Amino acid sequence: MSDTFFRPVSGFDLPRFAGIPTFMRLPHIGFDHPRFSEVDIGLVGVPWDAGTTNRPGPRHGPRQLRDMSTMIRAQNGATGIRPFELVNCADLGDVGPNPANLEDSLARITAFYGRLVEAGIRPLSAGGDHLCSLPILRALAKDRPLGMIHFDSHTDLFNSYFGGMKFTHGTPFRRAIEEGLLDPKRVVQIGIRGTAYDSEDREFAAGVGVRVIPIEEFFDRGVDDVMAEARAIVGAAATYVSYDIDFVDPAFAPGTGTPEVGGPTSFQALQVARLLDGVSIAGADLVEVSPPFDQSGGTAFLGVSILFELLCNMARNVRASGS
Ligand code: MN
Ligand code: MN
């Protein structure tokens, strides 16, 4: 770990509305940068939404999230954590997808993340639709299955869509469990709600031991109790955190393709991320921000605020483990 951290550009050196937007105003460090090997946590954009089955747009997410992330300052207002002084954080740029070929895009994303795994970099990703999580997991869980804490309105555990299509943003975690990338008994899904085609996803979850916490239970028990159970389910072993912005009520996050009413507030959205303290986060993502449906930019701002909470916990965890 380096003693000379990559620092975000301070708003006192250059106002936050000026300059080229990178994630949280961090330096852009590509694979060929001389200090690439010093990166501990890499922010990555995955501008790809070929898994979307209804209203598209998350391919535009990373650019809008980078722009709104210039609003983020260096210190967490609630916890006091200053992540950029704990470990080396950098903007690693975007994965280049192939917008004309789904399978090739999956392979390109896995190859990109494979290079991060080789370099010992923990990725914090900005989607993209939720299918992006599958090729990321193929790289991160190559050697052993991960646990997962998953915030979403939807389980994303369906088998197929529209006549056998196996790769959509409604299927990534079904595939990940089938491929041995996730240990289903260490997977918890929080916030599930909305109308459904059927119960196939929930029956699959029950059959393999995935814990589903519907939104009614979330509100009955409260954030602290639910998150204590989530931490207990994943335990001390390596865990992926996947955060679909449609977990949040569309009053606070309208800019997404598949909104479901009756969800958590923006405050609760930050609280749950904050309560991941102590979880061994091997990687995390924030997906499904769709700028075409986000006219105020407020959904993207909430998205980057969640990314910052995730980053704070990852930085503290990496620093504590000394890796
Ligand atoms: Mn999802
Ligand atoms: Mn969803």
Distance 179 CA to ligand 1 centre (A): 18
Q: What is the largest CA-CA distance in the chain?
A: 55
Distance 316 CA to ligand 1 centre (A): 26
pLDDT digits (tens, 9 = 90+) for 16-66: 999 999 999 999 999 999 999 999 999 999 999 999 999 999 999 999 999
CA-CA-CA-CA torsion sign (143, 147, 153, 154)? positive
Neighbours of 201 (CB within 10 A): 24
Distance 132 CA to ligand 1 centre (A): 10
Query: With b meaning 16 or more CB within 10 Å and e meaning fewer, what string describes 161-195?
Result: beeeeebbbbbbbbbbbeeebbbbebbbbbbbbee
What pLDDT, on a 0 to 100 scale, did the predictor assign at position 307?
98
Identify the bridge partners of residue 89 per DSSP, sorted by sequence position. Answer: 41
Domain positions in the chain are 38-321
pLDDT tens-place values along the chain, 323 residues long: 445 899 999 999 999 999 999 999 999 999 999 999 999 999 999 999 999 999 999 999 999 999 999 999 999 999 999 999 999 999 999 999 999 999 999 999 999 999 999 999 999 999 999 999 999 999 999 999 999 999 999 999 999 998 889 999 999 999 999 999 999 999 999 999 999 999 999 999 999 999 999 999 999 999 999 999 999 999 999 999 999 999 999 999 999 999 999 999 999 999 999 999 999 999 999 999 999 999 999 999 999 999 999 999 999 999 998 75
What pLDDT, on a 0 to 100 scale, did the predictor assign at position 207?
98
What pLDDT, on a 0 to 100 scale, did the predictor assign at position 3?
58
At the topology level, CATH places domain 38-321 in Arginase; Chain A (3.40.800)
Distance 35 CA to ligand 1 centre (A): 34
**Nearest bound ligand to CA 194?**
2
Distance 242 CA to ligand 2 centre (A): 11
**Nearest bound ligand to CA 154?**
2
pLDDT digits (tens, 9 = 90+) for 140-176: 999 999 999 999 999 999 999 988 899 999 999 999 9
Amino acid at 54: N
Distance CA 237, CA 279 (A): 8
Distance 222 CA to ligand 2 centre (A): 21
What pLDDT, on a 0 to 100 scale, did the predictor assign at position 322?
77
Distance 134 CA to ligand 2 centre (A): 14
Distance 201 CA to ligand 1 centre (A): 13
What pLDDT, on a 0 to 100 scale, did the predictor assign at position 94?
98
What pLDDT, on a 0 to 100 scale, did the predictor assign at position 306?
98
Q: Name the residue among 238, 169, 170, 229 with its Cα closest to residue 204.
A: 170
Ligand 1 ion: Cβ-proximal residues, 5 Å cutoff = 130, 152, 156, 244
